[in-house]
Structure 1
C-alpha cells in the first residue's frame, strides 16, 4: 500500500523490491542501498559525477560514499515528519543503475549493510537526552525512540523501553541490517565461529544471536517485512 502525507508518497520495502529495474538494490532499515564496484577512485568519481547530473533529484537526492574500490549509494528521504522511502526513490534507483551500466560499472547487491546501536532503558527520555547531547544527534522524524546523525554518517541509535532492570543480560546491542537474500548466510557464518541462535521467532524479519559470552546482536532483513529487528 502506498500512502501520502505532507505531499510525499511513501512506500514500503516490499513495494520497492517488487518494482521493475531495481534488482541491484536492497532495502536496509528505512533506505534503499546499492554498491557499485568501480575498482578505482577515478572511475568512482566519474560515477558520482554522472549521478549528480541526473535531472529532478528532488526529495530522493542520494547519499553517496566514494571509496577507491567502489561507490555506495543510499536513498533516504527526510521531511519534517518522515524519515524513509518514497515513490520517487524507485525511479531514481533505476536511473542510477542505468548510469552505472552505461559506464560499465557492475553492481554487487551482497556488499551493502547498515548498522544500528540499540540501548534498553528504564527511563527512556533521560537516556535519550544524554546520547543526543553526547553524539550531536537529532530525533528521527516520527520516531522519538530513535536518534540519527543529522549528517547521515554515523550509525543510528534506537532506545528500547525496559519494564524492569536486567542486570544479568546486556542492555546494549548491535543491529546489523543485511540484504534479505544474504541474511541466512551471515547468520550461518556467525554460528560457525561460536555464536548461538537466541531466537528466530521473528524470522525472516530478524534473528537474535549471541556471541560465546552471551552478548547479543540482531540480524535484520528489511526486504519483505515491516518489522524492525532487535526487539528481544
Structure 2
C-alpha cells in the first residue's frame, strides 16, 4: 500500500490526529487509569478486527497512540481508517483529544561520514549495531529517541562533536512554541525554512530545531 503525502493526510479531516515525522499521532485525555485501560482494550479489539496494530501508551491521565504502516514506511489509508475508528471509540466514552501536547524528540549529530559512526552509536543506544539503517539509529522498543546524522562538510580537522535536538510538533503549534522559546530567553537563529523548520538558540548559543511535516516530500 502506497504512503500518503502530507496534504492528503491533512485533508482527511482527522481533527484528533497530527502527522509527526512519518507517523500519525493522537493523545486522548481519559481522566484516570481505569478508564484509560478500558479505552486501550477497545483500541485493541478494533486493531485486531482491522489486522493493523498501533503503538499505545497508557498513563494515569491520558492515552497516546501512534499509527504507521511499517511495511510501507509511512502513513497509509489503513492508518487513516483506524484513526477514525479510534476517534469514534473515544467519542463514545466522552474523551477529548489534546493535539497541542503532541511532540516527538529526535537527536541529531553532525557527521562527516555517518557510516563510520552510525554502528557505534547504534551499539551505544540499543546494544545492537544493526539498529543503524544507513541513515539513522532506531529503537523498536521505544526506549531511546531516534538518532539521525546531519551531513557535515568534510574538513581537514575533525569537527567538534555537535548534537542538537529536533522537536517535531503539530504545524499549528509552531508560532506559539517559538513565542514561548523567545519569551523564555531564547532567540530565533534561522527561520528561512519555516514552516518546515525553525532553529532557535538559548542564551549560550545551544540550538534546537522546531520541525513540522509541512513542505516535505
Measured after TM superposition, the shift of residue 194 of structure 1 is 1.2
Residue 36 (structure 2) aligns with:
44
* Map of 2:62 onto structure 1: 70
Q: Which moved more, 1:194-203 or 1:130-139?
A: 130-139
Indicate the residue corresponding to 1:25 in structure 2: 17
Residue 3 (structure 2) aligned to one of 10, 20, 25:
10
Q: Deviations over 1:85-110 (max 9, x none)?
A: 11111111100000000111111111
Q: What residue ranges of structure 2 are gaps of 5+ in the alignment?
A: none
Counterparts in 2 of 1:1-232, with a 5 A limit?
Answer: 8-20=1-13, 22-54=14-46, 55-58=48-51, 60-79=52-71, 82-136=72-126, 138-140=131-133, 144-165=134-155, 171-222=162-213, 224-226=214-216
TM-superposition CA deviations, 1:15-45 (whole Å, max 9, x none) = 111113x111111111110000011000110
3-state secondary structure, aligned to 1:46: helix
Change in CA separation of 1:198 and 1:169 when aligned onto 2, cut-off 3 Å: farther
- 1:56-78 deviations in Å (ceiling 9; x for gaps): 433x4111110001000011221
Count of residue pairs the alignment pairs up: 212
Q: List, as ranges, runs of 4+ consecutive aligned residues in structure 1 with deviation greater than 4 Å.
A: 165-170
Distance, in Å, in 1 between the alignment partners of 2:96 and 2:187 is: 35
CA distance in 2, matches of 1:170, 1:187: 26
Does the residue aligned with 2:172 lie in a helix, a strand or coil? coil
CA distance in 1, matches of 2:143, 2:85: 24
Q: TM-score, normalised by structure 1?
A: 0.85
- Contiguous gaps of at least 5 residues in structure 1: 1-7, 228-232
Cα distance, 1:198 vs structure 2:
1.1
